[in-house]
Amino acid sequence: MWILSRTFLQAFGIVCCTSANVVFIARGQLSHAFITGCLISYIWWYNARTAAHTSGRWTAVAYALGAGTGTVTGMWIARLL
């Protein structure tokens, strides 16, 4: 169960930051775009080290759900800022 939770959070984190980053870039909010860009790179670096060690249908489902949830959450956070 821990692997599925971690996979969900990895997808959530990178997609949340990416969707927020797109909004910040479109609005010209340079400082916000810089911060989320750094977070994207940091999370991507972590994900690249761990993603190769997980597999399976439920892991893919956890990643997909994390990505979908992250997309909506990132858009919501960016809208608030």
Q: Stretch 47-73: mean pLDDT, rounded?
A: 88
Quickly state the pLDDT bin for 67 (edges 50, 70, 90).
very high
| Domain ranges (residues) in the chain | 2-80
Q: What is the pLDDT of residue 76?
A: 96
Buried b (16+ CB within 10 A) or exposed e, 39-66: bbeebbeebeeeeeebeeeebeebbeeb
Share of residues in the chain with pLDDT > 70 (%): 98
62 CB-near residues (< 8 Å, 6+ apart): 4, 5, 7, 8, 11
